[in-house]
Structure 1
């Protein structure tokens, strides 16, 4: 019996010797020779003060410190961060907050265990290579990138993870390599004490310290007497600081580079914009930095600069999952040179945002999920929908408006499934629709309008709206209507060419950039191959993906990594010259940016040529071609809007601008008039005063007849007659609501017998002018 009791005593001694240690709340009897009392060898006092800490994360009246000690012979070790908060916070809260803010730091977590979150690994980017990622079980083909600084696992398999960059700090373990011991010190304690509970159960106190100390091969190592305060996180570009400790607005010149509008990570962050400087510097979230952590709405897909204002359009008003940034709504207006917020709008007539187009210096058009809405630039107000552009009684996306362009005379807007809507910006009326299923629209350098379908290019005459089709020989354009983005269809301002990215097959995005020569009508369907096609996970275009620098003609291509999940944290911006040569590649810091669209600053105003006279003598009808006397280095000349701003003596001379951008001066009496001509190039306006010496006596009968235009009878019952000596190109009729009515002109006659009684507008486009008159149907 005595022998039996002796065996029991020996058994219990052995059991308690091996079972008196808990690692993050988990009882461990598999760590030989370790008890809580034996671990006290690792205890020490803090060797630095809170005043020494350089990098603080969070805000609040309470503060604590976090120490991570790897014991891997790499220096500096025992790194220290500070954490501030209000209310209640745990050790887990502190680790997660610091991991989210400091992109050099990452942690491996098993969340949701009975003891809360188990922390199995810590890493730190020592060499600044931004290669913070892990391999699992040696699978180098599928690196795991942290999300908000965390790589999650669902088991105590911490020993199976290694760092992508062997030069960085990384230690993880549980069963074989070692484990992370957890030490805590409250303000009342002189030394650190071993914590038998995990970070989820550790309640922080104001002035407390937490130290994570790796035990390699289960050997205890004292907490270091040398602790190194971590410097504030700065991106590889040198200026980004996601905790907003710096203000890039003080150092960034937003004219020397280009912007990348970001959709951002849905469910986590609202939209943003980065700035890529020509000096190689990347400034991240520049709008948020300047505006005290304000952002755009949810899923920002579009941005454009017009008249020194930057218009950002998001699909929804706010991303409810974003707790770091204040949402800005579906439309955000900012100063394009400083990024200072000007105005924000949550609603656009009950529709989701799509695009924005500056129409003139006083108004713009907002493309939405159902119609085109007016925007008052002067008073910063969203107006009503333009009649005929929305789909009555349709679903939220039945009337999607995609890209819009402004020629010198008209606005062309793509409407899903219906066609190209042509809007007269003078009256904000829909005057014509080119039926068909189109994806996008651009204006080429020569002024021609081009729309793209799945496998067809459509050339649209800018004033007659006549169309001509060109089949894309072998490839297709990728449809971007389902989850709308602005698409890759883009035009050069330096050459008469168009570009786009061809569609891939199935789930495989395209990898070639297509070039189309507008002059020769030649297709090059393999002009550029997207970089990064040799690895298992390839680079793929995202969002609009492709745009052309209006000054240099260089192509800007943004790509992300194929695959799933964390692969989308990898993003590149490539620059190609106009010959297709890759000239630059920039790698963004790891994050789910989901870049949408490159936008270029508008740095120059239009310039009026000295060939434009200051005065002319008009003895008969005088024509001045305005297209040849205006230029703009960073905008399309064909899109410059020319208007007669004022005429101080209209009884002496008539001054009009026809659809061919020609100034027509018609003497009416003898005398002098000052005509002010306004040139609007993307919202920047210059003016020229032309003094006209009119001598009306020489006006010939032929000239008078050229100016004649009349309709009769008016009111009309059956047949309407049009009288003009000019060549009539197009005639259209609209009812009182602005709805287009299809009519046929036959030898100067239109049969209107089928029209209901009422008031109409008839519009005739001739080779010299556009005429618009009221028509009454009896």
Structure 2
């Protein structure tokens, strides 16, 4: 019997797997009629691959040819039999990669087909936007699904009935599959990054909360206006403070054996990740961080960009023509982010109290990239909060903008998506509400 196998490479953005379908010829050498899967009956794409979300279902209707007698059927999901009907409806309860095997028996012959379906969590294929909220209301989350033309709004309260974030939610980070949300007042909240179900929360933080940084499977750090606290990730309790760091602290980044901490008093303080002792105070910067592809850690202050070697902690200074204002007065995470596709960083030109409309892409060695912004927002929009983040899924820049001014202007928002290589606008999505977007959060 001759076997025909087919294969396909699916686009990486869908994270799909290869598929192999098996069909048979009409008769083998002994004259036995063998059924044939003419079409896999999934999305009419002819390849048996698909991506769906938890809660969705897919009905698979393979079309058969060359069938004699009364055939019987078998459907297996990851090797476990689920049905003996000719049609199968797949409705998964958990995210993951699934192999669905279809077999058709007719007389003494057998044919089959293999399907590959990736199941995503409801809040997986896209990114969150952490919102401060309209003070003194609590913060909230919005969500943008990649490729969509609208934004899911206020999803945290909808998924977790009766539960709220803290007041002025300013920071979010995904670490080990968990979403950590830090508010300036109230608890740090932890939710599953894919279904958003709350996993737990700390007691109200002892000082104004700023940022979170995961260290390993059991430890994390929380920066505040009163130093940096160590958090047990299993119990969500604060177990002490980092010695030698006092006063207001902000952005943090773990890189290999170091943890970089932004402090108001001492600038960039580098900790040893193993014991959280201070290794070095390297430069007096006030905004950061981003890690470029060459392994350097970037920060800035005034008219200087600083690139810190991730190994020996040496600092290289790049002068620029405008001021990088600190974020201590109305703290936010800052706009620094890095490309995953090339050795480049992005940062915004803001005013003393935030705002601004220019975003720069700096490629070390090409000084002209510091003179012309890669993105300039429309005249009726300005940056708010951290404002800028890089999306490695589709090599884009995600930028949150608001209408300048106060009062009713603050409810006019736009999510901008730009090509991160060229700065070309790909999509702008206006939406309404007093959200005050603090930062986009990408995995």
Give the alignment of 1:341-740 within 5 angstroms: 341-348=198-205, 350-390=206-246, 399-472=247-320, 474-504=321-351, 509-520=355-366, 522-533=368-379, 538-577=380-419, 578-588=421-431, 590-601=432-443
In structure 2, the residue matched to 1:56 is none
CA distance in 2, matches of 1:519, 1:334: 41
Deviations 1:488-532 (A, max 9, x none): 12111121101111134x778322111110354553333234333
Give the alignment of 1:5-154 within 5 angstroms: none
Confirm whether residue 254 of structure 1 aligns to residue 123 of structure 2: yes
In structure 2, the residue matched to 1:759 is none
Partner of 1:264: helix, strand, or coil? coil
More strand by share: 2
Correspondent of 1:310 among 164, 179, 185: 179
- For the 8 Å contact 2:390–2:397, the answer to whether it is kept is yes
CA distance in 1, matches of 2:227, 2:182: 15
Give the alignment of 1:82-231 within 5 angstroms: none
Partner of 2:371: helix, strand, or coil? strand
Alpha carbon RMSD of aligned pairs, Å? 1.9
Deviation at 1:387, TM superposition (A): 0.5
CA distance in 2, matches of 1:508, 1:487: 10
Partner of 2:274: helix, strand, or coil? coil
CA distance in 2, matches of 1:595, 1:260: 7
- For the 8 Å contact 1:513–1:526, the answer to whether it is kept is no
Deviation at 1:282, TM superposition (A): 1.8
Compared with structure 1, are the counterparts of its residues 563 and 520 closer, same or farther at alpha carbon in structure 2 (3 Å cutoff)?
closer
Compared with structure 1, are the counterparts of its residues 431 and 508 closer, same or farther at alpha carbon in structure 2 (3 Å cutoff)?
closer
In structure 1, the residue matched to 2:44 is none
Confirm whether residue 275 of structure 1 aligns to residue 275 of structure 2: no
Structure 1 residues not aligned, in runs of 5+: 1-250, 318-328, 391-398, 602-778
CA distance in 2, matches of 1:430, 1:364: 16
Compared with structure 1, are the counterparts of its residues 509 and 274 closer, same or farther at alpha carbon in structure 2 (3 Å cutoff)?
closer
Compared with structure 1, are the counterparts of its residues 576 and 295 closer, same or farther at alpha carbon in structure 2 (3 Å cutoff)?
same
Compared with structure 1, are the counterparts of its residues 531 and 431 closer, same or farther at alpha carbon in structure 2 (3 Å cutoff)?
closer
CA distance in 1, matches of 2:353, 2:218: 44
- For the 8 Å contact 1:495–1:553, the answer to whether it is kept is no
CA distance in 2, matches of 1:449, 1:509: 24
Deviation at 1:597, TM superposition (A): 0.5
Deviation at 1:378, TM superposition (A): 2.5
In structure 2, the residue matched to 1:285 is 154
- For the 8 Å contact 2:330–2:353, the answer to whether it is kept is no
Deviation at 1:439, TM superposition (A): 1.8
> Which structure exhibits the higher relative contact order, with contacts defined as CA atoms closer than 8 Å and separated by 6 or more residues?
2
CA distance in 2, matches of 1:335, 1:352: 24
- For the 8 Å contact 2:283–2:315, the answer to whether it is kept is no
Deviation at 1:471, TM superposition (A): 0.5
In structure 2, the residue matched to 1:340 is 197
CA distance in 2, matches of 1:344, 1:419: 30
More helix by share: 1
Deviation at 1:340, TM superposition (A): 0.6
- For the 8 Å contact 2:203–2:237, the answer to whether it is kept is no
- For the 8 Å contact 1:530–1:539, the answer to whether it is kept is no
Answer with 1 or 2: which has the greater Rg.
1
CA distance in 2, matches of 1:518, 1:374: 35
How many residues in Structure 1 have an aligned counterpart in Structure 2? 323
Deviation at 1:479, TM superposition (A): 2.2
Compared with structure 1, are the counterparts of its residues 406 and 252 closer, same or farther at alpha carbon in structure 2 (3 Å cutoff)?
closer
- For the 8 Å contact 1:515–1:525, the answer to whether it is kept is no
CA distance in 2, matches of 1:386, 1:529: 39
CA distance in 1, matches of 2:393, 2:155: 23
- For the 8 Å contact 2:156–2:196, the answer to whether it is kept is yes
